Structure formats: structure tokens, C-alpha cells
Amino acid sequence: MKDIREDIAWAKINTDVLRSLENPRKLYWVILLIAIAMIGVAVGCEIYQYNMGMGVSDKNNSHVWGLYIATFIFWIGMSHSGTLLSAILHLMHADWRKPIYRFAEAMTTFSLMTAGLFVAVHLGRVWQIYYALPYPNGRGVWPNFQSPLLWDAMAIFTYLSSSILFLYVGMIPDLAICRDNMNPGWRKKLYTALSLGWEGTDRQWRNFRVTYLTIACFLIPLAVSVHSIVASDFAMSQQPGWHITSFPPYFVAGALYSGCAAIITLFIILRYVFKFEEYMTLPILKKIVRLTFAIAMVWTYLNLIEYATVWYGHDQASKDVLIQKATGVYAPFWWTMNFCGSIVPLIMFFRRFQTNIPVLFAVSLLLNLGMWLERWMIVAPTFSHGYYPWTWDSDQWPSLIQWGIVFGSFGWFTLLFMVFCKVFPSVSMYEVKEMVYHRSLATKKLEATGKLAAAGKGAH
């Protein structure tokens, strides 16, 4: 089966995609309102927490981190697949990424924006957050460059700005299409400003290609390093269950994994909502599913490695944490995590499920549940079962304030994503055209070679 029909007219592509920018249906507003309400919950919780102190989130002196950090890692992880699709696969000339990378890249940006909020939400004195930045000051006071948390702050900041840049630069030709197809109004003004006078000249295309490629090259190591650094928050510490060498690749794998799962989810939703069946085709879905399956297996492997090194290692404390995860108060979550992360993806191994949209939708949600639990299971059990038995504390259960903010973060992400979908083309028009063009060229070539073969002139 072909990734895309080669005979789609370019004008049809424009119309189809631009249709997604038209005035939304009622349902859109309903969902948008729900998202805003979710954000409202989180904002309310945060205001309360800001006024009362971090205590209302129900963490304590031995259990100082909670869902905020876990969810922070989750969102950071979510961001990675966008880069995978848009940058890595771009360099690898995987054409099938073209219809779907735009929304994936948007997902990257928005999940980073969500993750960044959790850093702020987590801090005891969020009003002093700028202390963590190496801004020049007369007192010679610098942040501590030894702290992985500082690396984190910098890495995320860099990654976020690069991602925004990458998303924007990649959109310029499409913005020009939008500009050219819009009736006068705010949108027209917006696209005019944003498309930076794009006219599609050869010189512009050449510069565009070079810029885009450069940013892509820059973004790849950045993406890998960001999650390695997030992993360093744990791996660089001395705590049992955290200081594990395999954490950076494990985190990166987990990040790609959850990101791919999220792409499947959004793919299915967008395909349905915007009727993008022509572009977000089942063969493409199949490719993502296969990719996700491969990453799931890598993740499972790294996970098993982690268990094995802990189990056969000499560090009794780490081993105790592992046993605690499997048998203690966190056992239900830990086993769910393993089930969702390693067993559920096996469904994707079967060809007939690789294009089964309802099954895949459910699977992708389960995978993300598993990956969220994975992050929580990295953060929490070490606190409740660390080095010092006197302070072991298993009663720590996140308060509704924590849950409220975690809940609201999904609303925030949804809001950003939905606004994006209505303001910017969520399918890259020019690249789909390229893809169709390549496709048709290939078909022509095939037909030509077929003719040749049929003519019995033999192959060289």
C-alpha cells in the first residue's frame, strides 16, 4: 500500500488543509472550554499552593518531590518524538513523516511549554525562579553549574527556543500559502507578518532548505541531551534507585516511546476531526506503529537491564527500593507500569492491529499511562524507601492539589494544541506536495521501468 496517493491535486491539498483553519464547529468550542476549565482548576490549585506553601501538595521532609517532577519528566519525554519525526527522519529522508511531522513538532513545543510550568510549580519559592538563570549581576552571584537541575533549566530553555524556531521556520512556506488564500482580516495580517515575505523563489527555497537542515542537525543532539540531562537529575544523585548508569538512554527511550504513543493518539484524532484520511493514511500510521513497537522493545530492554543490574549488583539499598516497588505500597502502579509499557505494546506486533484505529487509540493511551506511571515510579519509591530507614514514609499520597495541577496540565496542552490547529496548518502543505510529487515521480519511474521490463530490454 502506498503512503499517499500520487494523484492528489496540489490545489486540493491547499483546500483540504486550509479548511482545517476555518471557523470551528461547536464541538471545538466545547472541548476548548473544557480545556480552559481544566486549566482553571490547575490555576486555582497553584494560587492556593502559592499562598499557603508547598505543604498543601502533601509532600514531606523525606518525600520532597512528587507528581510535579514525575509529570515534568512525562511532558519533557512527550516532546521528543516531534523532534524524532521532524528532524531525525528528515535527515534520513523518510518521506512518510511529511504529513504528520508538523503536528508532532507542535506537540514538542507545547509539551515543553507544559513541562516548563512544572518546574515553576514545583519550586518552593517560584518568585525567585530567576536565581537559577546565569544572568549577569553585580554581586558575582552565579547559579551552581554543578547541579543537574541547572543543566536541566538550560537544556530545556535551549530546547524550547530551538523547537519554536524549528517549528516556525518549517512553517514559513505554508504560512505564505495561507497568506495568499486568506480574505483580508486578522489572519491575513498575521500570516503576512509571519511569512516574512516568502515568495517561493529559488533563492528563498535554497536558503530555506539550508536553514531548516541546519536547525534539524542542531536539534537532534539537543533532544538527546535534554532527556539525558533530565535523567542526570536522578542518575547524578546518590539515592538508591536513582544513581543508575543506564538512566540517560533509558530516559531517552522512554521519552521517544511516550512521544510516539502521543503521536498515534493525535494522529487518530486529527485524522478523524479534520478528515485528513487522504494525508494521514493508514500506511503511515502503520509505520509509526512499527516505530513505536521498536522503541517499546528498546525501552523494555533497557528497563530489564536496569532491574538486572540492580538485582545482581552489590547495592543493597537499590535492591531494597526495587523490591519495595514490586511489593510495597506502590506495587499496583509499578506492575501497571510494566504491563502498560512492555505487554500492551505487543499488540502492535500483530499486523492486523497495526492499522486498527480503535485498538491503536486505546493502546496509545495505555502506553502513555504506563509511561506516566514510569516517571512516578522513578521519583516516588526512592523517597519512601531511601537510605535512611527512620524516615521511610509510605503514607505519602499526592494531595488533590497535586492531582489538580497534573490534571490541568493536560488542559493546558490541549488548549495550546487546539489553538495551534486552528491558526496554523497542522499538515505541512508544501511537504505533502513534495511527497505527492516524489510519489508520482517514483510511480512514473516505476511505470517507465515496468515498460522497459515489459519490453524485454532487460535490466541493467
Q: Contact residues for other proteins (CB under 8 A)?
A: 52-55, 58-65, 122-126, 128-129, 131-132, 134, 139-144, 146-150, 152-153, 233, 236-239, 316, 320, 383, 386-396
Find the helix or strand (DSSP H, E) in which 419 lies: helix 400-423
Which DSSP letter does residue 446 get?
H
d(CA 118, CA 120): 5
Q: Which is nearer to other proteins, 54 or 406 (CB)?
A: 54
In angstroms, what is the minimal distance from the CB of 375 to other proteins? 15
Q: Which is nearer to other proteins, 399 or 440 (CB)?
A: 399
In angstroms, what is the minimal distance from the CB of 360 to other proteins? 38
d(CA 207, CA 437): 21
**What are the cell numbers at 284?**
503511515
In angstroms, what is the minimal distance from the CB of 193 to other proteins? 36
Q: Which is nearer to other proteins, 52 or 196 (CB)?
A: 52
Which H, E and C letters describe 308-336, residue by residue? HHHHHCCCHHHHHHHHHHHHCCCHHHHHH
Residue found under cell 525562579: 129
Give the chain's count of helices (H) and strands (E). Answer: 16, 0
Q: Which is nearer to other proteins, 102 or 122 (CB)?
A: 122
DSSP 3-state of 365: helix
d(CA 43, CA 24): 26
In angstroms, what is the minimal distance from the CB of 188 to other proteins? 44
In angstroms, what is the minimal distance from the CB of 86 to other proteins? 30
- In order of 2, 33, 103, 187, 428, the CA distances from 28 in angstroms are 32, 8, 17, 19, 22
DSSP 298-309: HHHHHHHHHHHH
Query: How distant is the alpha carbon of residue 385 from its chain centre?
Result: 31
d(CA 86, CA 83): 5
Q: Which is nearer to other proteins, 40 or 143 (CB)?
A: 143
d(CA 271, CA 20): 11
Q: Which is nearer to other proteins, 194 or 326 (CB)?
A: 326
Q: Which is nearer to other proteins, 65 or 205 (CB)?
A: 65
Q: Which is nearer to other proteins, 23 or 128 (CB)?
A: 128
Residues with Cβ within 8 Å of residue 294, at least 6 apart in sequence:
none
Q: Which amino acid is at 204?
A: Q
In angstroms, what is the minimal distance from the CB of 329 to other proteins? 9
Q: Which is nearer to other proteins, 228 or 426 (CB)?
A: 228
Q: Which is nearer to other proteins, 101 or 383 (CB)?
A: 383
**What are the cell numbers at 4?**
499517499
C-beta separation of 260 from 82 below 8 A:
no
**What are the cell numbers at 404?**
489538580
Residue found under cell 499511562: 369
In angstroms, what is the minimal distance from the CB of 122 to other proteins? 7
Q: Which is nearer to other proteins, 207 or 237 (CB)?
A: 237
In angstroms, what is the minimal distance from the CB of 110 to other proteins? 24
User: Can you list the pairs that 185-191 forms with residues at least 24 positions away whose Cβ atoms lie under 8 Å?
Assistant: 187/21, 187/423, 190/423
DSSP 3-state of 19: helix
d(CA 310, CA 364): 29
In angstroms, what is the minimal distance from the CB of 372 to other proteins? 20
In angstroms, what is the minimal distance from the CB of 252 to other proteins? 21
In angstroms, what is the minimal distance from the CB of 327 to other proteins? 14
d(CA 404, CA 407): 5
